[in-house]
Amino acid sequence: MELQILLLLPMAFLLPAGAQAGEIIGGRVAKPHSRPYMAYLKRKTCKGEEPCGGFLVREDFVLTAAHCADGDITVLLGAHNVRRDEETQQRVSVRRKIPHPGYNKTSIENDLMLLQLAEPAELTDAVGTIPLPQAGRTMEPGSVCSVAGWGRTSLDTMLTSNILHEVELEVMSDETCQEDRLLQRYYKPSWMMCVGDPDEDKASFSGDSGGPLVCDRTAQGIVSFGKNDGSPPRVFTRVSAYVSWIKKTMRAFSSPGSHAESPAYLR
């Protein structure tokens, strides 16, 4: 068994959880547009189309995983079926990719990236932002959160889903990942979250990378990596450890037409 940074790549030793925006194991079809913050990242790389997930944190910024940085990225907002031309959809090009300066693709530390949109999104019933957590806040083990994506549902298929799926996952103790034979080398409690009960067949998978772990209506985690057989637990970037960097970076790169000030929840 190997690790996976949930990309749709060959069975490499580490596959990030979202170099291809993926579906969900053990989940269900999401209610259309019930997650207006969700972003589908259409990435064109030398290997073909490799989508990722992401989420809108300000009208002009999407937060995603740093391992999703390769290729030309187009952001699709307001989507339920990404293969249809829905009236709710907004396609926006990316002005600037801003990976965390400490991102290490070998150790998978600091796996987050801001995408500055070429123009601010129009906020509608189908397109909206999601709040960031309080800086430094941690979720207690046993908390039930959710994750969504458009990718694979099992090892039996390499095809991604057209329709957004979602699943509820339990936050596990740090020890659950620290004691896992394949995860323990990479898991860092200060910057990562251990998510998904090992006794349940429910998880994020290839390639849900970059999508948000939503707890109490806030984006607490970012899908990052896991074992390549899709089994839980999976590892998520802990957003609360990076709130200061996120806010500082968005202030430094304000898009024309965006608000002079960040929304109250980002201050």
Task: Give the catalytic positions in this structure.
Answer: 67, 111, 209
Task: Report the candidate in 3, 7, 69, 1 with the shortest Cα–Cα distance to residue 208.
Answer: 7
Q: How many CA atoms lie within 13 A of 151 on its CB side?
A: 39
- Extract the tokens encoding 197: 């009960």
Q: What angle do CA 215, 250, 55 make, to 5 degrees?
A: 35
Q: E strand or H helix at 171, and its extent?
A: none
Q: How many CA atoms lie within 13 A of 244 on its CB side?
A: 4
d(CA 175, CA 191): 14
- Extract the tokens encoding 207: 């390639």
56 has which bridge partners?
62
d(CA 101, CA 30): 34
Cis peptide before 233 (omega within 30 of 0): yes
Q: What angle do CA 51, 164, 69 make, to 5 degrees?
A: 20
